[in-house]
Amino acid sequence: MVRVLLAVHGEGNGHMTRCKAILEHWADRHEVVVAADGRAYDYLRPHTEMIERVSSLHLGYHNNKISSLKTLAINVLDLPDLIRSMFRLHRLIKDFRPQVMVNDFSALGSYIGWINRVPIITVDNNQLVAVSKMRLPKRWSWARIKAQLAIKLMVPFARFRLIPSFIFPEVLRQDVELVPPILRKEIRSLKPRRGDHVLVYQTSSSNKQLLDVIKRIDERFVVYGFDKDRLINNVTLKRFSEKGFLKDLASAKAVIMNGGFSLMTECIYLKKPILSIPVKGQIEQMINARELERQGLGLKSEENDLEMIVEFIRSLRSPKRIPVFDYDLAFRRLDEKIRQLTS
């Protein structure tokens, strides 16, 4: 049994749901302590008693676009808690003495683990743009440069980097391996059906324009991401709960979302028609949306376009060709890397 520290970033749902799947896979195989931020802590707390709340870096949004000023302000205000979290995590490592850290985009985990000489394996999809050869539009160049810099700052230290992906470009580094998406068992056990609503999921509550657009469409929408329980004519706003979200996802006739990797791959697995409206300037989401459309798995739109959304709903089609992945491969490769580092 190996002592493993699982460090989880709390921005968005993808990191926390992936780490829940990893915890379920490990079960009684390893002695695991989790260090998680905000929403990830609240989500993972019922599934493990060995968990520490730590702070992390966050993104600020305005009108469905990353705001540099908001991002700076949020993290400056959170600096005291971030410093306290550094000491808590340092103490946790000293007490627990992990043999390896598995890091899902946690900057704090990366730096404090490196300081304490803990071998690190990263498991996150965000790094793809920084470690692979992909031809991207020239107008994306600045977004790509910023993303590459941010990724190098967030997770600079790792022995191995496992990157879940549904696209497989050539990688630039020997310590990188692309693996199929990691799906939680709840998704794999769902029995999808076509209900009467369109599911809308937003990474942040800043995209209020989308609400104004869908209110004008004669369809029933169930919306997550605005942290409210409220009925507005044809739009039902819901606070996130895993049970409720999975029920609404399974019965949705279509999904309108940003470009987040985890939900996108879950929708692909469930054969749901997808319209992706990625967060502007977030290159990882922009790539996901582009590849979704390129592979015939869904549609993308750069704006909250009324006509585009109406046409998407009017001509709903499930993807004709669903990629066949070995959804257990990432777990096997992670186990192999842990054995390599601890044997």
pLDDT tens readout for residues 10-38: 777 889 999 999 999 998 889 999 999 87
Segments in 156-259 forming alpha helices (H): 185-188, 208-214, 242-251
Ranges 11-15, 148-152, 153-157: which has the least confidence? 11-15
List the domains of the chain with CATH numbers.
Answer: 3-182+327-342 (3.40.50.2000), 186-314 (3.40.50.2000)
Segments in the chain forming alpha helices (H): 14-26, 38-44, 68-77, 79-96, 107-115, 128-131, 141-154, 185-188, 208-214, 242-251, 261-269, 283-294, 306-314, 329-342
pLDDT confidence of residue 45: 93
Q: 295: which DSSP letter?
A: T
Instruction: Say yes or no to pLDDT of 251 above 70.
Output: yes
Q: What does the alpha-carbon distance between residue 57 and residue 78 come to, in Å, rounded to a whole number?
A: 8
Instruction: Say yes or no to pLDDT of 335 above 90.
Output: yes
pLDDT tens readout for residues 61-117: 656 666 666 666 766 667 778 888 899 999 999 999 999 999 999 999 999 999 999
Please say whether the beta carbons of 309 and 276 come within 8 A. Answer: no
Q: 65: which DSSP letter?
A: B
pTM of the model: 0.90
More confident: 142 or 113: 113
